[in-house]
Amino acid sequence: RRIGTAPGAGSVPERTRLPLFGHALSVPAGGFTEHTLREARALGPLFNLRFFDTDCWMVSGPELVAELCDETRFRKSVQPIAAVREFAGDGLFTAFGDEPNWRKAHNILMPAFSYNALRAYHPTMVTVARRVLDAWDRNAGTPVDVPEDMTRLTLDTIGLCGFGHDFECFERTTPHPFITAMVSALDHAQRKDTFIPGLDFLRRGAEARQRINIETMNRLADDIVRRRRAASDGGADSADDLLGLMLHAEDKDTGQPLDDMNIRYQMLTFLIAGHETTSGALSFALYYLLKNPSVLAAARAETDALWGTDPDPDPTYEDIGRLHYLRQVLNESLRLWPTAPAFAVEPLEDTVIGGRYPVHKGQPLTVLTPVLHRDPAWGDNPELFDPARFDPEQADSRPGHLYKPFGNGERSCIGRQFALHEATLMLGLIVHRYRLIDHADYELKIKETLTIKPDGFTLVPVRREESE
Ligand code: HEM
């Protein structure tokens, strides 16, 4: 059906719609990414999904994406993640483009991701990475749940580096209550698109649970702030980590600090955005290392060249920059499974995309990165895991905007370098210390709660010196 209104407009492909529902019932709960991968294969680089009375254009062709990444014509759209604003408000990730708090917080918090800041986080990142090794050594020869342990790692890391708070996730046998509340809250937010308008009373139970989850997360964030304020008042704390900047720094443009409500939103934003995606990225990378012995051997050769036979090296900040191949493994994992698997933009004015599809000012356009990252422009076999795609010569010769795991432009990921450093360090220490055994002959299954992870992925780590 025709969606555009201009004369001569191209019609955007779509499946037959159901009355009232549109395509809402055809998108499986928690299965958006795999559904859109299939649909893009059938319908092409631009197609429409209609949720009740709202058309959502799904875009994945490189030329169209390049157009959408032009920040003089498009900006981030928050509409598809609007339900997350219930708990992340006008925090960095969910702030509308014209909300003054976005620029203010961006100015205030950028220094927490500078080169010097990353160097300062490095020792803490090493300390937390060692918690993984300790836990895996303690259970030698038994299966470990990879996404669960990577989530422990990344929550402890952002907690300590960003907020001076130790979640002590490795002291617990079950996920931290913050994680349980967060996963459930994100899941609820994601399902909101499929709620039938006018029948909200059917969701009363889910809404009540959502309120409890949000309270749990707020309580934890407020508690961390309270403790830091008490420490600062007593003169015991002047940390310039993320929380220190949130509490004490002023915006260079307006001279204003963040207000208390916004601090709470930023706390939740960073606690969530700062760990979920990195944990997924590490889990996918370990999955591919497990399934590709030659890649694992090459990665291990790299760490051996750096750290020799010492099974317990003390990596320096510079060491991590030298793990070029492991970084390529991570990049390639994020190509196939970008763990924040979509982002949306909207035109600043009415315009036409692809030379024939009229779009209105403010109409959200979703970029499907897993589809973009499998475009034939990647070569003959884009489904194949091959870290050589990120050899500098290959990477430099590729068209721009073909690789977007961290989003685009001004609203792209503020934590990108933090995540890459943390993840490369962890992968390096793991491949250097263990053989990885695919004891369950694991078959990849995707779990999706706004971000994606390999579901039920376990492996058995065996110390190399015990087996070689
Ligand atoms: C934004 C991906 C790690 C904090 C984004 C966006 C993507 C992304 C795609 C843009 C979303 C959009 O346009 O709607 C990832 C991936 C990560 C990662 C794949 C790990 C591999 C992190 C970390 C932090 C972080 C470690 C914090 C320590 C944020 C924030 C934003 C953001 C605050 C919003 C930025 C803004 O709009 O100003 N991330 N991220 N992310 N990310 Fe990340």
Question: Is 6's pLDDT higher than 60?
Answer: no
- Indicate the burial class of 168 (C-beta count within 10 angstroms; 0-12, 13-18, 19 or more): middle
The residue whose CB lies within 8 Å of the most ligand 1 atoms, and thus the one to mutate among 406, 410, 424, 426, is 406
> In the prediction, which pLDDT does 8 show?
46
Q: Is any atom of ligand 1 closer than 6 Å to the C-beta of 412? A: yes
Q: For strand 451-454 and strand 74-76, is the pairing parallel, antiparallel, or unpaired?
A: unpaired
Residue nearest to atom 20 of ligand 1 (CA): 278
**pLDDT by residue (tens digit) across 346-372?**
999 999 999 999 999 999 999 999 999
Any atom of ligand 1 within 6 Å of the Cβ of 106 = yes
Q: Which residue is closest in CA terms to ligand 1's atom 39?
A: 413
233 alpha carbon to ligand 1 midpoint, in Å?
32
pLDDT at 213 over 90: yes
Residue nearest to atom 1 of ligand 1 (CA): 413
CA 243 to chain CA centroid, nearest Å:
21
144-145: strand order across its sheet: 144-145, 458-463, 434-437
**What is the band of 300 on the pLDDT scale with cuts at 50, 70, 90?**
very high
3-class DSSP string for 148-201: HHHHHHHHHHHHHHHHCCCCCHHHCCCCCHHHHHHHHHHHHHHHHHHCCCCCHH
Q: What is the pLDDT, as a whole number, of residue 156?
A: 96
Q: Looking at residue 391, what is its pLDDT?
A: 95
Q: Whose CA is nearest to atom 15 of ligand 1?
A: 406
Q: What is the pLDDT of residue 30?
A: 82
pLDDT of residue 127: 97
User: For 142-158, how does the pLDDT look when each residue is reduced to its tens digit (9 = 90+)?
Assistant: 999 999 999 999 999 99
The 10s digit of each residue's pLDDT in 384-427 is 999 999 999 988 889 879 999 999 999 999 999 999 999 999 99
Highest mean pLDDT: which of 41-55, 185-199, 321-335? Answer: 321-335
Grade residue 204 by pLDDT with cuts at 50, 70 and 90.
confident
At 166-189, the pLDDT tens digits run 999 999 888 889 889 988 998 888
- Exposure string of 89-120, with b = 16+ CB inside 10 Å and e = fewer, is bbbbbbbebeeebbbbbeebbeebbeeebbeb
Q: What pLDDT is stored for residue 7 in this prediction? A: 40
Cβ(286) to ligand 1 under 6 A?
no
**Catalytic center residues:** 277, 406, 413
pLDDT of residue 1: 33
3-state DSSP of 190-230 = HHHHHCCCCCHHHHHHHHHHHHHHHHHHHHHHHHHHHHHHH
pLDDT, tens digit (0-9, with 9 covering 90-100), for 79-118? 989 989 999 999 999 999 999 999 999 999 999 999 999 9
Q: Please, what's the largest Cα pairwise distance for the chain? A: 72
Is 380's pLDDT higher than 90? no
Q: For residue 277, report the distance from its CA to the centre of ligand 1, in Å.
A: 8
What is the Å distance from ligand 1's center to 25 Cα?
Answer: 29
Mean pLDDT of the chain: 91
Query: What does the pLDDT read at residue 359?
Result: 95
pLDDT band at 452 (very low <50, low <70, confident <90, very high): very high
Q: Is 281 in the pocket of ligand 1 (CB under 6 A)?
A: yes
Q: Find out whether the beta carbon of 258 lies less than 6 Å from any atom of ligand 1.
A: no
How far is it, in rounded angstroms, from Cα 243 to Cα 227? 11
- What's the pLDDT score for residue 20? 84
Q: pTM to 2 decimals?
A: 0.94
With the most atoms of ligand 1 within 8 angstroms of its CB, the residue from 78, 81, 277 to mutate is 277
278 lines ligand 1 (CB under 6 A): yes
69 carries a ligand binding annotation? no
pLDDT of 339 higher than 90: yes
- DSSP state for residue 160 in the 8-state scheme: H
pLDDT digits (tens, 9 = 90+) for 250-284: 999 999 999 999 999 999 999 999 899 999 999 99
- Ligand 1 pocket check for 415: Cβ under 6 Å: yes
- Is there a contact between 340 and 310 (Cβ–Cβ < 8 Å)? no
Give the distance (Å) from ligand 1 centre to CA of residue 339: 10
Q: How far, in whole angstroms, is CA 139 from its chain's centroid?
A: 29
Q: Cβ(418) to ligand 1 under 6 A?
A: yes
Provide the pLDDT for residue 334.
98
Q: Does residue 322 carry a pLDDT above 90?
A: yes
Which percentage of the chain shows pLDDT scores above 90? 75
Ligand 1 neighbour 405 (Cβ under 6 A): yes
Closest C-alpha residue for ligand 1 atom 43 = 413
Å from CA of 415 to ligand 1 middle: 6
Closest CA to 281 of 242, 237, 338: 338
> Percent of the chain at pLDDT above 70?
94
**How far away, in angstroms, is 416 Cα from ligand 1 center?**
7
Taking the CA of residue 280 as reference, the ligand 1 atom at the shortest distance is 21
